[in-house]
Chains A and B, each alone.
Chain A
C-alpha cells in the first residue's frame, strides 16, 4: 500500500480532507454515490463491530472505558500510519530512486508499523487507565481492529482524493485493498465471536481422554458378562458401650473360606464440624481359603443393611498371599449414627472375591435397548416417508405452475364453485355429526370415522363445488346479458360476509386485552363481527361489480400460490422444532417424532415433486389435450409416466433423510434411538451413549448405501 501512495501523482486535497472527516464523503462529492455509501457503511460496520467485540472480549461492564481505549487506539494507529506513509512517500520521492528498493522500503515501513504499534499499545492502554490484566485482553483485539480500521480510513481518504482528481473518461481505481482489509477484519472478528480456541482443543484432550475412549469404542458394554462373587462375613459392634464384648469372632476353617477379627467391638471414626478426623478403633481383619494371588475387596455393611466401601481408613483392596490368606488393618469407618437407633449397633464386614468376568455371548440390556431404539427409528423414518408420499403426491400437482397456470374460470363460475364448496363442507360436517352419533362417539372407532370423514370431505365438497359452478354458469345464461355479473355480485357479497363475520369476531377477541364486563364483551363482539361482515361484504360486492361476471379468474394460480406458501412455511421450520410442538401436543414418544417428520416430509417432498412436474416435456400434455382427453386423463397418461422416475428417486432420497432425522428427533422427545441417547448422555453413561452413536452411524451408512443403489436403478 505504501507503493500505491508513492506512485500517486494526482490528489484532490478537498476530497481527501472531506473523506478524512467523514468516510465516503469525498467519494460522494465526486458523484460516486455507491462507492461513498459503501465505504461509509463499511466503516460504520467495522467500527461498531470492533467496539462490540472489544467490549465482548473484555467482559468489562464499563462501555465508556472500552470506547475510550478504542478511540485512543484508532487515533494512535491512524497517526502512526499517516506518519509512516508520509515518511515512505518522501523517501521514495527524494532519496530512494531504484524501483526494487522502493518496494522494499514499503515493506520495511509496513513492518515498522506493526512493531511500533506493538510497542506503543502498552502505553496507550495505561493512558486509558486500565489495570494490567485488562491489557492483555484488549491487546490483540485492539491492535487488529483499530489498525485495520485506521488503515481503511486512510485508504478511503486517498481514494477520495484520487477520484476527485480523475478526469472525465479515466478508469476508476480498484477497490481491491478495501475489500482485503474488510475481509481480514471480518475474519478476525468472526474468529473471536465464534470463540475458536485451538489451544483448548489440545490442552483439554488429556482430561477427557477416558470419556472419549469410552465414547469411541463402547463395544464392551454391548455384551453381557458373568461374574461369580464369593462373599464371607464377620459381625462387629460399634460403638462399643462399656461392658460390651461384641459378637463372636469366626474361627479359622480348613477347606473353607473364612474371615475373622482380632476385636469385634470398637469405636467409629468421627469428624468434627471443622472437618478434623478422629480415627476410631483399629481392627485387624484376617482370613483364609481364598484363591492365592487373587484380589479381594473389603466392604462394610452398616446396621440398617447398606453396604459401602470404606474410604480413608485403610487399604480395602487386598491381594491374597500364596496360601490364599491375608491380614490387614483398618480403622472402623465413619458413618452417621441414626439418632433413633436403640440397642447394640451390629455392623458386618464383608470380604468379596470376584472371579474374572466371563463372556457369555449374550447382548447386554443396554445393547438390546439401543437396538430396539434403532428399529423404532428406522420404522419412524419409514412411516413418515410413507405418509409423506401419500399427502405430498396430490399436493404437488396443485403446486406445479405448468399444470395450474392454465386453469381459468369466469368469476361467476368461480363464485358458484366457492359457494358450492362451502355448502359441501357444511354438509360433510352435518353428516359426520350424524355418523359419529351412529358409531356412539368419536373415541369408539376413531380410524374408520376419520376415513369416512376424509372420503366424505373430498367427495361431497368436490361434488358441490362442480355443481355450484355449473349451476351459476347455467343461471347466468338464463338471466341473460348481465346475468353473470348479477350472480357474481350476490355471490361475492355472501363470500365476503362469512369470513368478515369471523374475522371481526376474532379481532374483537384478540384486542380485548383489557377485561370487559361480560355483557359489554358480548356486545363488543357482536359489533365487531357485524362490522367485519358488512365491510367484507361491501368489498366482495365492489370487487364483483368492478370485475364483471365474465371476467376470467386464474383459479389455478390462486391454488398454486396458496399451496406453495403453506408448504414453504412448513418446510422452513426444522423437524426438530416441529418435534417440540408435537411433543406438547401428544406427549413424548415415537408418534410425536412421526408427526414432526411427516409434516416436514410433506412440505419438502411436495416441493421436490412439484418441481419435477414443472420440468417435464410439455409435448405429451399438448398431444393428449388435442385428443379430447380431460384434465385428469391428461395427468394420468401424460404427466404421471414422466414424473415417475424422479418421484421414486426423490422419495428414496427423502427416506434416507428421514432415517437420519429420526435419529435426532428423539433428542426433543420424539422417540427412537435419539431419545435413549440423550438420556445416556445426561446420565454420563458414555459407553452406552457411544453404543447408540455407533448404531446410528452404522444404520445411516448402510441405508445411504442401499438407497443410493436403489436410486441408481431408477435414474
Chain B
C-alpha cells in the first residue's frame, strides 16, 4: 500500500514540478500515469524512492514514511522498490550478467561488491531472471550489443533481482517501437499478475494505458487532474482529454 499525501516538489531553480499531489496505490495494482512531457511524471516516480528529495508531503509505504527515513533505512527500503527507465540506464560496457547482478547490490555487503563478487545463489538468481525475460543466452554479452527491447528486458531483470514489491516504470517504452512496447508492457503485466508486484508506469499513449493499466491518474503541470479506472479512460471525451493534456493536444489516431 502506497499513500502519497500532499506531495510538493520545487527544484532549486524555482520550478514547481509537483503541487500538492495526493493519491493511493493499492497492492497489486497496475497504475498508469499519463501526462505531457514536463507534467511531473518522472519527478513523481523519483520522489517515491527519493532519487529526488521532495520538498513537502508524505510518502507512506507500508506504514513507513519514506521521506523521514535516514540513509540506512532508505537504502533498505529502496530494495523493495524496483525501477526501470526510458533509456534503460544499463552500464553499457559491462556484461548483461553484471548489469542484472547489480540489482542485487542492496543485499550485498560493500566489501564483497568492491571486489566484484556475488554469491552463487545471486548468480543463479540472475540467470533465472534473464531466462524469465526470454534472453538467457545474452548473459555474457556486453550490454550495448543488445537491441533496445532486449536492453529494457535486462533493465526489468535487474529490477527483479531486488525482489521488489513495487516497480516504478518511467516511460519504459518511450524509446521503443510499438511492437516492442507491447512486449515489454506484457512482461510487466505478467509480473503484476503472476508475482503480485504493484506497478506504477508512466506512459504517453492512451491506448497503452487502456490496454494494460488497472487504474489511471493524469498529471498536468504537477497537479493530479484525472483519477479513474481502466473503464473511465475508455470513456474519456475529447474535452476531458484536453483538460489532461492541455489545449494544444490532439489525439494521435490509433496510438
Contact = CB atoms under 8 A, between A and B. Distances in A.
Contacts of A626: 49, 51, 78, 81-83, 168
B79 interface: yes
Interface stretch (B13-21, B101-109, B228-236): B101-109
Nearest to A632: B110
B90 A630 contact: no
B26 to A, nearest CB: 22
A622 B85 contact: yes
Contacts of B168: 626
B140 interface: no
A620 B116 CA distance: 16
Interface stretch (B30-38, B91-99, B192-200, B243-251): B91-99
A642 B99 CA distance: 13
B110 A627 contact: no
Interface string B161-195: 11000001000000000000000000000000000
A502 interface: no
A157 B182 CA distance: 77
Contacts of A645: 93
A644 interface: yes
Contacts of B89: 619-620, 622-623
B114 interface: yes
Contacts of A634: 105
Nearest to B76: A628
B41 to A, nearest CB: 15
Contacts of A224: none
A627 B158 contact: yes
A629 B91 contact: no
A473 B72 CA distance: 13
A627 B93 contact: no
Given A637-B102, A638-B91, A642-B93, A623 B114 contact: no
Interface string A603-644: 000000000000001011011111111101110111001101
Given A627-B162, A630-B75, A632-B114, A641 B93 contact: yes
Interface in A638-662: 638, 641-642, 644-645
B87 interface: yes
A627 B102 contact: yes
A634 B105 CA distance: 9
B162 to A, nearest CB: 6
Contact of B102 (A617, A619, A629): A629
A636 B116 contact: yes
B158 A623 contact: yes
B113 interface: yes
B85 A628 contact: no
Contacts of A617: 92
Given A623-B158, A626-B83, A628-B79, A633 B91 contact: no
A628 B168 CA distance: 14
Nearest to B88: A619
A644 B116 CA distance: 15
B175 to A, nearest CB: 12
A620 B90 contact: yes
Contact of B162 (A619, A620, A628, A630): A628
A642 B91 contact: yes
B85 A619 contact: yes
Contacts of B106: 627-629
B91 A628 contact: no
Interface in B194-250: none
B105 A623 contact: no
B94 to A, nearest CB: 5
Interface string B102-144: 1111111010011010000000000000000000000000000
A633 B108 contact: yes
A624 B79 CA distance: 10
Contacts of B70: 473
A636 B113 contact: yes
Interface in A276-295: none
Contacts of A641: 91, 93-94, 98
A714 to B, nearest CB: 11
Given A622-B89, A645-B93, A637 B114 contact: no
A617 B88 CA distance: 12
Nearest to B52: A622
A554 to B, nearest CB: 11
Contacts of B78: 625-628
B105 A624 contact: yes
Nearest to B164: A627
A617 B103 CA distance: 18
Contacts of A622: 51, 85, 89
Contacts of A636: 113-114, 116
B39 to A, nearest CB: 20
A625 B110 contact: no
A620 B91 contact: yes
Contacts of B98: 637, 641
A638 B102 CA distance: 9
B54 to A, nearest CB: 14
Interface string A54-69: 0000000000000000
Contacts of B90: 619-620, 623
Residue in A620, A623, A626 with the greatest tally of chain B CB atoms within 10 Å: A626
A630 B85 CA distance: 19
A11 B137 CA distance: 85
A617 B161 CA distance: 23
B131 to A, nearest CB: 20
B53 to A, nearest CB: 9
Contact of B113 (A473, A619, A633, A644): A633
Interface string A665-699: 00000000000000000000000000000000000
A632 B110 CA distance: 7
Interface in A344-382: none
A630 B110 contact: yes
B235 to A, nearest CB: 35
Contacts of A629: 75, 102, 105-106, 113
Contacts of B82: 626-627
A185 to B, nearest CB: 48
Interface in A513-549: none
Contact of B85 (A623, A632, A638, A642): A623
Contacts of A644: 93
A626 B88 CA distance: 13
A636 to B, nearest CB: 6
B79 A627 contact: yes
The CB with the most chain B CB atoms within 10 A, among A473, A627, A637, is that of A627
Name the residue among A473, A619, A620, A622 with the largest chain B CB count within 10 angstroms: A620
A711 B98 CA distance: 26
Contacts of B91: 620, 637-638, 641-642
Contacts of B88: 619
A622 B52 CA distance: 10
A473 B91 CA distance: 35
Q: Which residue, A629, A632, A634, A642, has most C-beta atoms of chain B within 10 A? A: A629
Contacts of B104: 627
A628 B105 contact: yes
Contacts of B105: 624, 627-630, 633-634, 637
Per CB-CB distance, the 7 closest pairs between chain A and chain B, nearest first, are: A628-B106, A619-B89, A629-B105, A628-B78, A623-B89, A628-B79, A626-B83
22 contacts: A619-B90, A623-B85, A623-B89, A623-B158, A624-B105, A625-B51, A626-B51, A626-B78, A627-B103, A627-B158, A628-B76, A628-B77, A628-B78, A628-B107, A629-B106, A630-B105, A632-B113, A636-B113, A636-B116, A637-B94, A641-B94, A642-B91
Given A627-B103, A628-B106, 8 more contacts: A620-B91, A623-B155, A624-B102, A627-B78, A627-B159, A634-B105, A637-B102, A641-B98
Interface of A: 473, 617, 619-620, 622-630, 632-634, 636-638, 641-642, 644-645
